[in-house]
Amino acid sequence: MSSSTPSAPANAGVRVPPPLIFAGGLLLGWLLHRAQPLHLFGAAPAGVRPGLGWLLVIAGFALSFSGVITFLRARTAVIPHHPASRLVTTGPYRFTRNPMYLGLTLAYLGGVVLMDSLWPLLLLPFVLFTLSVAVIRREERYLAAAFGDAYATYRRQVRRWL
Residue 2 maps to a domain: no
Share of the chain above pLDDT 90, in %: 80
- Model's pTM, two decimal places? 0.91
Q: What is the pLDDT of residue 133?
A: 96
Intra-chain end-to-end CA distance of the chain, in Å: 21
Check pLDDT > 90 for residue 10: no
Q: What is the pLDDT of residue 60?
A: 98
Residue 27 maps to a domain: yes
Q: CA geometry: angle at 88 spanning 96 and 54, to 5°?
A: 45
Give the C-alpha separation, 97 to 89, whole Å: 8
pLDDT digits (tens, 9 = 90+) for 126-151: 999 999 999 999 999 999 999 999 99
Which residues span the domain enclosing 87? 18-37+44-157
**Is residue 100 exposed (0-12), middle (13-18) or buried (19+ Cβ within 10 Å)?**
buried
Number of domains in the chain: 1
Residue 116 maps to a domain: yes
Residue 8 maps to a domain: no
Check pLDDT > 80 for residue 45: no
Q: What is the pLDDT of residue 9?
A: 78
Q: What is the pLDDT of residue 52?
A: 95
Mean pLDDT over 60-86 rounds to 94
Residue 1 maps to a domain: no
Residue 7 maps to a domain: no
Residue 4 maps to a domain: no
C-alpha 140: how far from its chain's center? Answer: 14
> pLDDT-based confidence at 80, cuts 50/70/90?
confident
Residue 141 contacts residue 155 (beta carbons within 8 Å): no
Residue 129 maps to a domain: yes
Check pLDDT > 90 for residue 159: yes
Taking alpha carbons only, the member of 79, 82, 73 closest to residue 8 is: 82
Q: What is the pLDDT of residue 8?
A: 66
